[in-house]
């Protein structure tokens, strides 16, 4: 699918603010893919579609999680987590995206997963460091991202986990698994 067509489909689904974030993630995913050796075309497509389901009604997302046999644990955690796996399902169904690597990068863009692919990593990190993001400490992660993809993701996960804990929110287990996986693989 061409970039213009993909962007047109996504624009109908999300707010203008989220669309600007999407453009940032698209550009940053491509940049990271080129830097670290992932497929830039797949990074572009996954970046464009990563937040496709961000504004779907909770009821609809819940229904999809149940009927499509996704991990039901999701329903016990913050509904902010749901748009990632639901998005992967909907872009296949509604936008005709079939590439399993692209669909996985969308599916795991919020929590990460054990054994993330290079593409997963580029999209996950782009979501955190795209130019529109102003999280405290994001500049540290941007700096690390110039040279070390895994270390930058560890930094992003650490900040996300701290952020959730400070708000006394539950942390989804996959977020911890991703963090541990990358820490344990560090040489």
**Which residues of this chain interact with Fe ion, rule CB under 5 A?**
51, 127
- 169 makes contact with ligand DGI (CB under 6 A): yes
**Interface pick for ligand DGI out of 1, 7, 40, 164 (rule CB under 6 A):** 164
- 114 makes contact with ligand DGI (CB under 6 A): no
CB 113 within 8 A of CB 135: no
- Integer CA distances (angstroms), 109 to 20, 155, 166, in order: 17, 15, 22
SS3 75: helix
Residue closer to ligand DGI, measured from CB, 37 or 169: 169
User: Smallest gap, in angstroms, from Cβ of residue 116 to Fe ion?
Assistant: 12
CB 105 within 8 A of CB 120: yes
- 77 makes contact with ligand DGI (CB under 6 A): yes
- 130 makes contact with ligand DGI (CB under 6 A): no
- 121 makes contact with ligand DGI (CB under 6 A): no
Residue whose C-alpha is closest to residue 180's, from 166, 161, 165: 161
- 171 makes contact with ligand DGI (CB under 6 A): yes
**Interface pick for ligand DGI out of 90, 95, 127, 145 (rule CB under 6 A):** 127
Residue whose C-alpha is closest to residue 123's, from 102, 105, 110, 145: 105
From start to end of the chain, where are the E strands? none
DSSP character at residue 56: S
User: Smallest gap, in angstroms, from Cβ of residue 112 to ligand DGI?
Assistant: 9
Residue whose C-alpha is closest to residue 110's, from 149, 145, 81: 81
Interface size with ligand DGI, residues (CB under 6 A): 19
List of residues contacting ligand DGI (CB under 6 A): 21, 51, 54, 77-78, 80-81, 84, 109-111, 127, 160, 164, 169-172, 175
């Amino acid at each position: 699918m061409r970039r213009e067509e993909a962007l047109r489909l996504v624009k109908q689904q999300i707010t203008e603010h989220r669309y600007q974030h999407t453009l940032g993630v698209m550009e940053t995913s491509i940049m990271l893919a080129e830097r670290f050796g992932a497929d830039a075309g797949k990074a572009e497509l996954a970046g464009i579609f990563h937040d496709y389901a961000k504004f779907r009604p909770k009821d609809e997302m819940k229904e999809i999680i149940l009927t499509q046999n996704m991990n039901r644990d999701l329903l016990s955690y913050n509904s902010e987590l749901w748009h990632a796996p639901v998005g992967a399902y909907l872009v296949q169904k509604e936008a005709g995206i079939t590439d399993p690597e692209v669909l996985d990068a969308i599916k795991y863009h919020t929590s990460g997963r054990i054994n993330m692919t290079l593409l997963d990593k580029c999209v996950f990190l782009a979501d955190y460091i795209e130019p529109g993001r102003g999280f405290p400490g994001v500049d540290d992660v941007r700096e690390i991202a110039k040279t070390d993809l895994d270390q930058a993701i560890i930094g992003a996960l650490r900040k996300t986990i701290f952020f959730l804990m400070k708000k006394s929110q539950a942390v989804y287990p996959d977020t911890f698994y991703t963090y541990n996986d990358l820490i344990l693989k560090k040489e």
